[in-house]
Amino acid sequence: MNQVKTLFEKIWDTHVVVDEPGSPSVLYIDLHLVHEVTSPQAFTGLRAKGLKVRRPDRTVATMDHSTPTKSLSIDLSDMMAANQLRQLETNCAEFGIPLYGMDSPERGIVHVMGPELGLTQPGMTIVCGDSHTSTHGAFGSLAFGIGTSEVEHVLATQCLLQTRPRTFNVHYTGQLRTGVTAKDMILALIARIGIGGGTGHVFEYTGEAVRSLSMEARMTLCNMSIEGGGRAGMIAPDDTTFEFVAGRPFAPKGAAWDKTVAHWRTLPTDEGATYDREITIDVAVLEPMITYGTNPGMGVAISQPIPDPAQEADTTRRSSLEKALGYMDLRPGQPLLGHKVDVVFLGSCTNSRITDLRQAADLLRGRKIADNVRMLVVPGSEQVRRQAEAEGLDRIFREAGAEWRFAGCSMCIAMNGDELQPGQYAVSTSNRNFEGRQGKGGRTFLASPLTAVASAVNGTITDPRSFL
């Protein structure tokens, strides 16, 4: 008799290599993505132990975190970043790993590039030394972030020791209203469950609201699973998924394609399968969301006032909120709408794909960004950059007064010199508003590309629906 299973269970069960009592499962990894920041010590470990990379053919490297965005030359990076980037080149050459380096026309943020090349496919297990690996779950894969020790484990054995996480069904009903996006869906979830809400769990995003999202929007949704504490986030593959993957460089071709798609069609969660936890969110009532605090769970609908710590019964939560508002220099009860903005960042593995840039450019067309605002537009990959330029989107951004850059993580993590100055306020389409994340002393409001553009134009936090 066939047991009913969730999408997660189907993938997990077919990737367990060894399951010994008293030990975690040995889980096989189909695809290992590598970048410059979390890999050097892993390669050093291999060398020290005299080990090889077991499956260089299942390993792909790129440079994204600390790369310059004003040029494509490593020489323009600071000495330490340049050294780390060169180290990646050396490591990849020595261990036979394909590297999409600075000279590659396909280089990009690892979570933008993988799907673009068709490396990311349904049913796979995918890891990377980066917590936003959850992004790839949008294709119906089990994808999660790992630390550097684990990077070494996967390089050496193509496997990881893992305890089976629990499952969490995040069910989105209804249809989004105009001006509300996948970014708002995920910010709403995190505001609801908190940043530790999904700890120990893998989210599966289900429901009609998810089905009608494009692949890019699904990636935005899965990207921020980690911000809700989830180990991973996944969406069952469907025709939207297959259409996106078809024809990409690493996608199966010809007869193999048909056979593979037939298998992919068996992956979605079976009727009657159950999850450890469930939550339902009606997206029809969602407004654009924005964060006010110093973690992604501190978010509200854009029309709402800044919460008052005095209303918080729990003492530790109250002090966290006070600390956050202190850092952000915001007053309880005040509206967020109309608050001054210094910088707008459109980019990051959350919102830097071609559809994000198109949406943003559409809203910006014929408008100018406010004089007091610096806006940075950083495409997620070199392919996205060229596509945007072919469509003339770069012109719209430039003519509106924004800076148009080469691909990279840029101001999402502020490792390459693209950063906020102390005290500055940014509306950012990235995923983390932690203290100093975008530059020492910088203050971040996380929001969708639409909200970012509307706020850039007015120079203050603005509901994008007022522009539509």
CA dihedral 115, 118, 124, 128 (to 10 degrees): -50
Cβ pair 197, 307 in contact under 8 A:
no
When CB distances are held under 5 to 8 angstroms depending on the partner's kind, the choice from another protein, ligand SF4, none that residue 109 binds is: ligand SF4
Q: Which one, of 228, 217, 229, 204, lies nearest residue 137 by Cα?
A: 204
Which amino acid, one-letter code, is at 135? T
DSSP helix/strand/coil, 83: helix
Tokens of 130: 């980066």
Question: For residues 18-77, which are near another protein according to CB under 8 A?
Answer: 18, 22-24, 26, 28, 30, 37-38, 40-41, 44-45, 49, 51, 54, 58, 65-66
Instruction: Select from 103-111, 140-148, 169-177, 457-465 the region that touches another protein (CB under 8 A).
Output: 140-148
Q: Is 412 in the site for ligand SF4 (CB under 6 A)?
A: yes
Q: Is 153 in the site for ligand SF4 (CB under 6 A)?
A: no
Q: Is 102 in the site for ligand SF4 (CB under 6 A)?
A: no
x/- map, 349-368, ligand SF4, by CB under 6 A? x-------------------
Question: For residues 255-284, which are near ligand SF4 according to CB under 6 A?
Answer: none
Q: Is 65 in the site for ligand SF4 (CB under 6 A)?
A: yes
Maximum Cα–Cα distance across the chain: 67
Distance of closest approach, residue 422 Cβ to ligand SF4, in angstroms: 21
Cβ pair 459, 426 in contact under 8 A:
no
Q: Is 280 in the site for another protein (CB under 8 A)?
A: no
Identify any residues that bridge with 305 across adjacent strands, giving them in sequence order.
335
Determine the Cα–Cα distance for residues 1 and 278; give it in Å rounded to an integer: 27
Answer for which of 220, 223, 320, 444 binds another protein (CB under 8 A) is 320
Answer for which of 5, 87, 238, 287 binds another protein (CB under 8 A) is 87
When CB distances are held under 5 to 8 angstroms depending on the partner's kind, the choice from another protein, ligand SF4, none that residue 80 binds is: another protein
Q: Which one, of 137, 168, 140, lies nearest residue 7 by Cα?
A: 140
Q: Is 105 in the site for another protein (CB under 8 A)?
A: no
Identify any residues that bridge with 125 across adjacent strands, giving them in sequence order.
142
Answer for which of 129, 137, 379, 380 binds another protein (CB under 8 A) is 129
Question: What DSSP element (H or E) covers 170?
Answer: strand 166-173
Answer for which of 155, 176, 396, 409 binds ligand SF4 (CB under 6 A) is 409
- Between strands 25-28 and 159-162, the pairing is antiparallel
Binding region for ligand SF4 (CB under 6 A): 64-65, 109, 111, 130, 132, 348-349, 409, 412-413, 430-431
